[in-house]
Structure 1
Amino acid sequence: MTEWSYTVKIWAIRKRDYRKPYQLRWKVGIRPHSESFLTLGLAESRRAQLITATREGEPFDVDSGLPKSMVVKERDISWYDHARNYIAMKWDHSPASTRRTLAEAMATVTPVFVKDTKGMPDARAVRRALYSWAFNKNLWNEETPADVAKVLEWFKRKSLPTSALSDLLLARAALNAVSLKLDGTTAAAGTISRKRAIFYNSLEYAVEAELLADNPLIRIKWKAPEQVVEEVDPECLPNPEQAAKLLAAVRDQSPRGRRLVAFFGCIYYAAARPAEVIGLRRRDCELPRRGWGLLRLRETRPRSGAAWTDSGEAHDKRGLKHRPRRAVRHVPIPPELVALLRWHLTAYGTAPDGRVFQTMRGGLVQDTGYGEVWAEARSRALTPGEFESILAKRPYDLRHAAVSTWLSSGVEPQLVAERAGHSVAVLFRVYAKFLKDGDEAANAKISARLRQAG
């Protein structure tokens, strides 16, 4: 760890009878330093550098005796190498979906930090080489295709030193880059925010590595586009009657549909995320013959792509979203879902590892597969007008429908948030319109209480 000091004393240059006769001496803290030069001009130039650094308030490295700006320059590496170091630092502790996001952000800003664009390959070739190879640590030991290797060699030659990012205009150019999609149109606000946060953290890592004196983004007046309010649109939510018709249409359309009716039931009746249902195991289901049952959700299996997971499988295996790795969410389930799950387990059993849901070949349920079944169910269960609308457009809308049903039934928001796996803050933000529906009832209760007091 570098030790810095602001206590610096610089002496006059002295001449001695040596091969390099002009000696500059200075002290940082209590540590003496010296450097010899062939000419007086060289010695005076270095002395002027040190004096300027002290006047500008720079800290000095006690070991080398140099001001921070000079230390940073000596340790400098290219942005391309720093970005790969940053990916390597984050990789092992990041889920597959985060790895993809990290690679995407680094692939977006890296083309900005080049000496010139002469000979730069086209945007799509650059994107493929950087996103899929340069910033995917899983492929670093694999043989790189010749066309990709050519692109990466170009970036190794052309990449600016990381210290160049102290130029605020250069850092701002990177912010402009994260604001655009590959086709030049403006990116979604959420995408911009994520990429900007990753870029900011990569610069913080550069500061820690002493490649930059400070994070230049702190000094830039740049405002990210405002986030779109995440409220759920009531128009997309099926009511209980429509949901029942949709589940029946799933069941009746094909053998694949029959395997998935309880899957969609878990999303609707338990407000489970699809990735949570994919990871559901029999031992985590309490399914009594009568009355309410219970699901213990403890695992999620999001599809991230085989290139980004440690297992090489398309689905990652991780704990619940935004929860500690071993967290468990207990969700009481109504008799309707209990019956669906009991029927499903009787008909299909479980996968070898105990998973409730599996494909006809015993694999993990795929989003493409259940998406096709859901699209067919909509065409069968909905009227032409409803089918053309956004009503239940995605399977995930069943989860939103579940949460809105709980809220409209008068369940306390804190309990709804706990069962849905949300924070209360997210619940109030995303489902604000459904919470507002309770204003009249709340006002009536307050008025009744005030009348009692009067």
Structure 2
Amino acid sequence: METTYDVKIYKILTYKGAKKTTYTVRWTVADKRWREPFNTVALAEGFRSELIRATGKGEAFVVATGLPVSHRSKSAAMSWYKFAVEYVDARWSQLGGNSRKNIAKTLTATTIALLRTKPTQFAPAAVRTALREWAFNTNRRQDAPRDVVDILRWVERNSLPVSAWEDPEKVDQVLRSIDTRLDGKQAAAWSRKRNRRILNVVMKYAIRRRVLRANPLPKGKESTAVEKTTNAVDKRSLLNPEQAAAILDWIRRRPRGGKRLHAFFATLYYCGPRPEEAVAMRVEDVILPAPDADDQWCELLIHTATPEVGKQWTDGGDPRAAGPEGPC
């Protein structure tokens, strides 16, 4: 934690808007400008007085936060694990199963990166499972088995406070962690983008709750810098019509579910929907041409998607998440 005594405090800036007046405390720490707006002049003067008293006592200021060392914010008082669980519970009812599952995965990797020490007494896979499947699942947390409860209690005791996000080095460490797979290789570009997007939403929630003062994640292109990828498909890897017809005919002749699977894979091959869109189709979604019509094209109505996420992530116990997914 880098600190400095290079602090300058300025007069309160008053802004009279059309609807309300804002009083902003301004100060610099190591030439970095800081601003804190207040709705009343009394609150602004009180906060400014705290800064002045800290400088008068010769107290150092934290460069990363702009506040005196003795200033204990909500971020210093709340553990990251407790905050992450609170965030999951706050968003649970607003999200579909797939978004819930993705948030749990991202928060699991983040929480492990924000532990004071490695859990040597527990298997790494057990810790990940306890966090992903139980801690960050609102519906299941209260029913966690005893061994999972022991792991989660250890995690809660050893979790760093939310103020760890105010340390740029720790932020970089967390981002490297969520960008890396378990085998040590870099995660796929889409996975890294998804993790960054989820963490940005979590940080915005922390700011609204006044747990953090600002979003600590890097901004701009460097925050999601990934290698360029192409969506082009090598034609040599595609099935030709004869091969596709032969495979579909083989599927249709399977004794168990052959006709149903034939319809499913034929829809994917000839019409191009995503698997979760094809699964959600019903008989009434298919408009067939008349038998004597010259034009033999049919029409498919794709109106929803039901990706399979597991019954533990849905409210009704259905393994498929019905309906469109909202933002994480």
The alignment's TM-score, normalised by the length of structure 2, stands at: 0.74
Structure 2 match to 1:268: 269
Q: 1:73 to 1:236 in 2, by over 3 A?
A: same
Structure 1 match to 2:15: none
**Which digits, 9 at most, give the CA deviation of each residue in 1:147-173, with x for residues without a partner?**
111110011111111122100011111
CA distance in 2, matches of 1:120, 1:112: 17
Counterpart mapping for 1:392-431 below 5 A: none
Q: Which runs of 5+ in 2 are unaligned?
A: 1-20, 27-37
1:313 aligns with 2:322: no
1:207 Cα offset (Å): 1.9
CA distance in 2, matches of 1:170, 1:47: 29
CA distance in 1, matches of 2:196, 2:39: 38
1:204 aligns with 2:204: yes
Q: 1:234 to 1:70 in 2, by over 3 A?
A: same
**Which digits, 9 at most, give the CA deviation of each residue in 1:273-315, with x for residues without a partner?**
2222211112222123242222211122211111111111211
RMSD of aligned residue pairs (Cα, Å): 3.7
1:133 Cα offset (Å): 0.7
Q: 1:7 to 1:253 in 2, by over 3 A?
A: closer
1:194 Cα offset (Å): 1.5
Corresponding residue SS for 1:307:
helix
1:33 Cα offset (Å): 9.2
Q: Which amino acid aligns with 2:318?
A: E
Q: Which amino acid aligns with 2:197?
A: A
CA distance in 2, matches of 1:219, 1:316: 32
CA distance in 1, matches of 2:169, 2:206: 18
**Which digits, 9 at most, give the CA deviation of each residue in 1:243-283, with x for residues without a partner?**
22222122223342133222222112222222222111122
CA contact (8 A) 2:280 2:304 kept: yes
CA distance in 2, matches of 1:224, 1:117: 29
1:79 Cα offset (Å): 0.6
1:137 Cα offset (Å): 1.5
Corresponding residue SS for 2:184:
coil
CA distance in 2, matches of 1:28, 1:222: 33
1:128 Cα offset (Å): 0.8
1:298 aligns with 2:298: no
1:242 Cα offset (Å): 2.1
More helix by share: 1
Q: Which amino acid aligns with 1:283?
A: E
CA contact (8 A) 2:168 2:216 kept: yes
CA distance in 1, matches of 2:107, 2:44: 40
| Alignment equivalent of 2:42, drawn from 11, 31, 36 | 31
Q: 1:260 to 1:80 in 2, by over 3 A?
A: same
Q: Percent identity?
A: 30
**Which digits, 9 at most, give the CA deviation of each residue in 1:48-67, with x for residues without a partner?**
327799x99xx9xxxxxx99
1:242 aligns with 2:243: yes
Q: Which has the higher contact order (CA 8 A, sep 6+)?
A: 2
CA contact (8 A) 1:301 1:316 kept: yes
CA contact (8 A) 1:72 1:213 kept: no
CA contact (8 A) 1:190 1:227 kept: no
CA distance in 2, matches of 1:120, 1:204: 34
Counterpart mapping for 1:97-116 below 5 A: 97-116=98-117
Largest Rg, 1 or 2? 1
Structure 2 match to 1:122: 123
Structure 2 match to 1:80: 81
Structure 1 match to 2:291: 289
Q: 1:160 to 1:7 in 2, by over 3 A?
A: closer
Q: 1:269 to 1:171 in 2, by over 3 A?
A: same
Q: Which runs of 5+ in 1 are unaligned?
A: 9-26, 36-43, 60-65, 323-454
**Which digits, 9 at most, give the CA deviation of each residue in 1:385-438, with x for residues without a partner?**
xxxxxxxxxxxxxxxxxxxxxxxxxxxxxxxxxxxxxxxxxxxxxxxxxxxxxx
Corresponding residue SS for 2:142:
coil
CA contact (8 A) 1:95 1:309 kept: yes
Q: Which amino acid aligns with 2:94?
A: H
Report the count of equivalent residues. 286
Q: 1:4 to 1:219 in 2, by over 3 A?
A: farther
Corresponding residue SS for 1:5:
strand
Corresponding residue SS for 1:117:
coil
CA distance in 1, matches of 2:39, 2:254: 80
CA distance in 2, matches of 1:127, 1:33: 44
1:46 Cα offset (Å): 7.3
Q: 1:230 to 1:94 in 2, by over 3 A?
A: farther
CA distance in 2, matches of 1:102, 1:32: 37
Structure 2 match to 1:357: none
Q: 1:185 to 1:120 in 2, by over 3 A?
A: farther
Q: Which amino acid aligns with 2:23?
A: S
Corresponding residue SS for 1:148:
helix
Structure 1 match to 2:258: 257
1:45 Cα offset (Å): 8.9
CA contact (8 A) 1:76 1:161 kept: yes
CA distance in 2, matches of 1:273, 1:93: 24
1:178 Cα offset (Å): 0.8
CA distance in 1, matches of 2:311, 2:298: 35
Q: 1:4 to 1:255 in 2, by over 3 A?
A: same
Q: Which amino acid aligns with 1:6?
A: T
Counterpart mapping for 1:17-416 below 5 A: 30-31=41-42, 47-49=52-54, 70=71, 72-73=73-74, 76-117=77-118, 121-142=122-143, 144-218=144-218, 224-287=225-288, 288-290=290-292, 291-319=296-324
CA distance in 2, matches of 1:173, 1:99: 24
CA distance in 2, matches of 1:29, 1:92: 35
**Which digits, 9 at most, give the CA deviation of each residue in 1:318-351, with x for residues without a partner?**
14x89xxxxxxxxxxxxxxxxxxxxxxxxxxxxx
CA distance in 2, matches of 1:32, 1:179: 42
